[in-house]
């Protein structure tokens, strides 16, 4: 990686970038770059320039100029991957290229259920467009902000909750700018005259789309994405685990079988007590004993009692014909009811009369079961999320330990607001033996570094689970930031030792992400050398950096 070393070269580059995107779309002042590079993880790097291209052609021109000056380019879509690095590169200096202006929706095909979009298109934008123009189609959404990029999240292999939860798997046919500035179309679409481009992803010959996911081999500037036909019937239920902890293994294995059988078609997030409490409350400092940095078991029990939170909770959508949903509800009630409470609350949106009546009835039923008003506040948003309707409600949990109060929805920007939190998501086989064994090893690390234990078991498939481990820290507390880094390193080391690598890396861990697989890392370096000999595109991302080999 090379950075500019002279004022003359820097001025020349700035002039060239300005000529490509316009002065209003180039940032070079220190205060602006400080804002752009803010992140939630303990470390960050400030770029030399931030540039906002508006077209694929401008992206290509930026790469040509970067090659001329031998300066690295770090592309992001919206930069909303909070807890993983946001817009911050894994190195200082260079150009941060933000694709948020590239937000065109080119096509929606109702018959074949796909859209063609640019990386600046957000979940909120796509959902609004479908609702207004194609209400028979749903787009899956992540549990993060509605302002996150659809394509960006998919390329990071983010997850949703509907039957179309595999976001990268839903991409079909990409337009990619290579580090040289050359344009590549993947799949069945060497040109726009090929109508199968967005319906058959494999193309002819080697399948290469995966080379542009979690990588630094090309920048995706357009992609097809498959959409879900709205089902005839949608319903939603809440499950709370109330059985003795000795039965948790049986519950996990039963849960897996229901997904294999197709009785559960969505991909729920099974949240532990602390994860649920983060959503609905601020940190209970009044329950900390003097000198404590995290809650005791007695304090956790008191906090859970205040709000009516169980050990484990998840929401779940049900989809299909009326007959299918009726049958699957019966199966879920019977099998999951052996381990806790299963409460169906209907699938209507909250802004309809029927929806309001159903939600009111559900809330009354849950209130009778000891649930607080604060806990039930998120119910309408959960119902809508499992319909692919994005919301900022759940991502506000990251303000849990911040000095700022949780903001109003629509104004959620934790990187801007100085929230400290980190995610790491080891992938674990979906058996009780693997899951419980791993969690039993993880929890003592939280105690060792004095953080409260946060985990969501994200159902990736009937065969695997993403153990999303998170921890919140005070970014203004230097010692707590150090402990956060130490816990992250310990969790990452444990996950690799046990053979459960994280499903995605953060800017903190990215340079070492492939150290556990040296042959793969070497192969990717060989490909990098072929397509990016000047090491321009995001060097170090996922450990691929020509200067390190």
Rounded CA gap, 442 and 453, in Å?
9
> Is the confidence at residue 368, as pLDDT, over 60?
no
Q: Which of 90-104, 411-425, 524-538 has the lowest mean pLDDT?
A: 411-425
Fold: same for 105-229 and 416-504? no
Residue carrying structure tokens 């790469």:
63
Average model confidence (pLDDT) across the chain: 91
Separation of alpha carbons 150 and 517, rounded Å: 29
To the nearest 10°, the Cα dihedral for 538, 544, 546, 549?
Answer: 160
Q: Given a cut of 80, is residue 403 above it in pLDDT?
A: no
The CATH code of the domain at 416-504 is 3.40.462.10
Which range of 255-269, 337-351, 368-382 scores highest in mean pLDDT? It is: 255-269
Q: What integer is the mean pLDDT of 175-203?
A: 92
Burial level of 459, CB count in 10 A (0-12/13-18/19+)? buried
Contact 89, 33 (CB under 8 A): no
pLDDT value of residue 271: 96
3-state secondary structure of 434: helix
Does the pLDDT of residue 2 top 50, yes or no?
no
Residue 369: which pLDDT band, with cuts at 50, 70 and 90? low
Q: Please name the residues in contact with 349: beta carbons below 8 A apart, sequence gap of 6 or more.
A: 355, 380, 383, 384, 387, 389
Question: For 105-229, which CATH class?
Answer: alpha beta
Q: Quick: pLDDT tens for 509-533.
A: 888 888 889 999 999 999 999 999 9
Q: Predicted confidence band at 87 (pLDDT cuts at 50, 70, 90)? A: confident
pLDDT digits (tens, 9 = 90+) for 39-74: 888 878 999 999 999 999 999 999 999 999 999 999
CATH of 232-389, one of 3.40.50.360, 2.60.40.1260, 3.40.462.10, 3.40.50.620: 3.40.462.10
Domain spans in the chain, listed from the N-terminal domain onward = 7-98, 105-229, 232-389, 416-504, 514-548
**In 10 A of CB 479, how many CB atoms?**
10
CB atoms within 10 A of CB 418: 15
Q: How far apart are CA 120 and CA 220, in angstroms?
A: 11
Give the model confidence (pLDDT) of 294-331 as tens digits. 999 999 999 998 888 999 999 999 999 999 999 999 99
Instruction: Tell me the C-alpha distance between 138 and 265, whole Å.
Output: 15
* pLDDT for position 548: 78
pLDDT in tens, 467-496: 999 998 888 888 999 999 999 999 999 999
- Please name the residue that has the structure tokens 């609905």: 280
Supply 171's token pair: 């991409």
What architecture does CATH give domain 7-98? 2-Layer Sandwich (3.30)
The pLDDT of residue 183:
96
Q: Could you read off the pLDDT of 329-367 as tens digits, one per residue?
A: 999 999 999 999 999 988 655 556 666 656 665 655 555
CATH number of 514-548: 1.10.45.10
At 4, the pLDDT band (50, 70, 90 cuts) reads very low
């Amino acid at each position: 990686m090379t950075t500019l070393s002279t004022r003359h070269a820097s001025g020349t580059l700035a002039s060239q970038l300005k000529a490509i995107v316009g002065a209003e779309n180039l940032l070079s002042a220190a205060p602006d770059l400080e804002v752009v590079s803010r992140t939630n993880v303990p470390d960050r790097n400030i770029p030399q320039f931030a540039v906002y291209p508006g077209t694929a052609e401008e992206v290509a021109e930026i790469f040509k100029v970067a090659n001329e000056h031998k300066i690295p380019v770090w592309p992001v879509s919206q930069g909303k991957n909070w807890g993983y690095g946001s817009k911050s590169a894994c190195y200082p200096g260079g150009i941060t290229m933000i694709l948020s202006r590239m937000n065109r929706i080119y096509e929606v095909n109702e018959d074949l259920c796909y859209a063609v979009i640019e990386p600046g298109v957000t979940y909120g934008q796509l959902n609004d467009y479908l609702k207004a123009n194609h209400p028979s189609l749903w787009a899956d959404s992540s549990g993060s902000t509605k302002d996150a990029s659809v394509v960006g999240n998919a390329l990071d292999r983010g997850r949703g909750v509907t039957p179309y939860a595999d976001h990268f798997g839903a991409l079909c046919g990409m337009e990619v700018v290579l580090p040289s500035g050359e344009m590549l179309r993947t799949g069945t679409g060497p040109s726009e005259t090929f109508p199968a481009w967005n319906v058959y992803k494999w193309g002819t010959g080697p399948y290469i789309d995966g080379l542009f996911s979690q990588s630094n081999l090309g920048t995706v500037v357009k992609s097809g994405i498959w959409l879900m036909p709205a089902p005839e019937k949608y319903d939603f239920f809440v499950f709370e685990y109330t059985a003795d902890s000795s039965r948790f293994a049986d519950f996990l294995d039963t849960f897996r079988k229901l997904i294999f059988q197709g009785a559960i078609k969505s991909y729920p997030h099974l949240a532990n007590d602390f994860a649920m409490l983060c959503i609905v409350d601020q940190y209970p400092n009044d329950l900390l004993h003097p000198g404590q940095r995290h809650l005791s078991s007695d304090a956790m029990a008191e906090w859970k009692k205040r709000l009516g939170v169980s050990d484990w909770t998840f929401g779940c959508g049900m989809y299909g014909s009326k007959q299918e949903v009726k049958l699957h509800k019966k199966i879920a009630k019977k099998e999951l009811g052996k381990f806790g409470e299963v409460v169906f609350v209907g699938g209507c949106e909250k802004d309809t009369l029927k929806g309001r009546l159903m939600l009111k009835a559900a809330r009354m039923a849950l209130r009778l079961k000891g649930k607080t008003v604060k806990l039930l506040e998120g119910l309408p948003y959960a119902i809508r999320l499992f319909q692919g309707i994005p919301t900022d409600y759940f991502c506000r949990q990251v303000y849990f330990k911040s000095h700022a109060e949780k903001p109003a929805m629509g104004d959620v920007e934790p990187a801007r607001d100085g929230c400290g939190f980190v995610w790491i998501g080891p992938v674990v086989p979906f058996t009780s033996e693997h899951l419980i064994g791993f969690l039993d090893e993880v929890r003592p690390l939280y105690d060792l570094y004095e953080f409260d234990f946060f985990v969501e078991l994200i159902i990736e498939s009937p065969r695997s689970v993403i153990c999303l481990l998170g921890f919140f820290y005070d970014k203004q507390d230097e010692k707590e930031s150090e402990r956060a880094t130490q816990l992250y390193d310990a969790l990452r080391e444990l996950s690799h030792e046990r053979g459960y690598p994280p499903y995605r890396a953060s800017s903190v861990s990215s340079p070492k992400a492939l150290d556990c697989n040296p042959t793969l890392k070497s192969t990717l370096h060989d490909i990098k050398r072929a397509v990016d000999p000047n090491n321009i595109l995001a060097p170090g991302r996922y450990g691929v950096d020509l200067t390190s080999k």
